[in-house]
Amino acid sequence: MSETLEYRCERCQHKGQKKRIFLIDSAPDTLVVALKRITPAGHKINDPVAITNTLDLDRYRDPSYTDRLLYDITGVIKHKGDTTSGHYICSIKAPDGKWYEFNDQSVKASSVSDAVSSKDRFTPYILFFQRK
């Protein structure tokens, strides 16, 4: 990732637009991504989020870090309601590759497309990825 900054060189004091690059030099086998779904005013964001089944972070990898940064989605926690109340459900990928949805005391067969969708106004909040 990069961003353009107003920067002053500590040595020559020249000030100008510079580009800062952030690269990954180590990464976990299990990656947890929390999506910010609350506005600064405290309201829930219900807009759909495009979530891919595979996350490829290789282009953000530091050249000295030789491990691949390819991840498969393995779990999603979703919420329905507002910022003061609501209900959570969780979908996970079992070791046999099948997906299941957990909703309080019920468990039912599911799919990866159901897990990442915003159907029934449940919006994804936390994503779990496992390194390939």
Measure the CA–CA gap between 57 and 69, rounded to whole angstroms: 5
Q: Please indicate, yes or no, if residue 1 is contained in any of the structural domains.
A: no
Q: Please indicate, yes or no, if residue 18 is contained in any of the structural domains.
A: no
Q: Which helix (H) or strand (E) holds 115?
A: helix 112-116
Q: Please indicate, yes or no, if residue 93 is contained in any of the structural domains.
A: yes
Q: Has residue 20 got a pLDDT over 80?
A: no
Q: Please indicate, yes or no, if residue 5 is contained in any of the structural domains.
A: no
Q: Please count the structural domains in the chain.
A: 1
| The pLDDT value given to residue 22 | 83
* Burial label, 72 (beta-carbon count in 10 A; 0-12, 13-18, 19+): middle
* pLDDT tens track for 86-110: 999 999 999 999 999 999 999 999 9
* pLDDT tens track for 110-131: 999 999 988 778 889 999 999 9
Pairing of strands 99-103, 2-8: unpaired
For residue 127, the enclosing domain spans 24-131
Q: How confident is the model at residue 7 (pLDDT cuts 50, 70, 90)?
A: confident
| The pLDDT value given to residue 96 | 96
pTM greater than 0.85 (yes/no): no
* pLDDT tens track for 23-51: 999 999 999 999 999 999 999 998 888 89
The residues near 3 (Cβ < 8 Å, ≥ 6 apart) are 19, 20
Which pair of structure tokens corresponds to residue 49?
């989020």
Q: Please indicate, yes or no, if residue 118 is contained in any of the structural domains.
A: yes
Q: Please indicate, yes or no, if residue 125 is contained in any of the structural domains.
A: yes
